[in-house]
Amino acid sequence: MNSCVLMAKIVTSPELRYTQDGDVPVAQMLVEFENVSGDSPTSTLKVVGWGKLAQSIQQDYSEGDTVIIEGRLTMNTIDRQEGFKEKRAELVASRIHPLNQSESATTEMAEMSIPKEEDKNVVSFDSYQTAKSEVNESLTNDNDQISPEVTSAKDLDDIPF
């Protein structure tokens, strides 16, 4: 099975073209990613998207965006004028996910996230508190002889629940 997931930074803005018959859109861009060993320089790879994904790539992403790309790796053979054949890797994208976006897209997203008046009854995760003290108070007030201690597990992650 040929499956590849790559986190990379877009280094050339996506370019949208169409097949010779003009029916199928094709987007291509160059991305760079760090190698597994941190001492090596970054590598550059051509990414290609087809159809609706190509249109989405061209509209939603630009140079400087960091993305996660899912797809399959292909090898293209190119006949060089010098008389030899060159092989180049290419990632054919099936999905693309943004990690961060350019400044204009970030501003747009920030404007969309401003709470509206109808959102006043939404409770923030920051307001979450454990009910340990409330449980102990109700048990000790009802019957002074029973006072079980409620213990909670140590919270080691940053998930608020």
pLDDT digits (tens, 9 = 90+) for 16-36: 999 998 889 999 999 999 887
Check residue 114 and give its pLDDT: 46
**Separation CA 13–CA 17 (nearest Å):** 13
Ordered by where they begin, the domains of the chain are 4-100 (2.40.50.140)
**Separation CA 109–CA 131 (nearest Å):** 35
Q: Tokens for 49, please give them.
A: 């998207």
Q: Tokens for 158, please give them.
A: 């940053």
**Separation CA 31–CA 12 (nearest Å):** 7
H/E segment holding residue 22: none
Place of tokens 């099975």: 1
The separation between CA 112 and the C-alpha centre of its own chain, rounded to angstroms, equals: 19
Q: What is the pLDDT of residues 69-92, one digit of tens each?
A: 999 999 999 998 998 999 999 999
Ramachandran category for residue 83: left, alpha or beta (phi over 0 → left; psi -120 to 50 → alpha): left
Place of tokens 């404007």: 111
Check residue 145 and give its pLDDT: 53
Judge contact between 76 and 87, C-beta under 8 A: yes
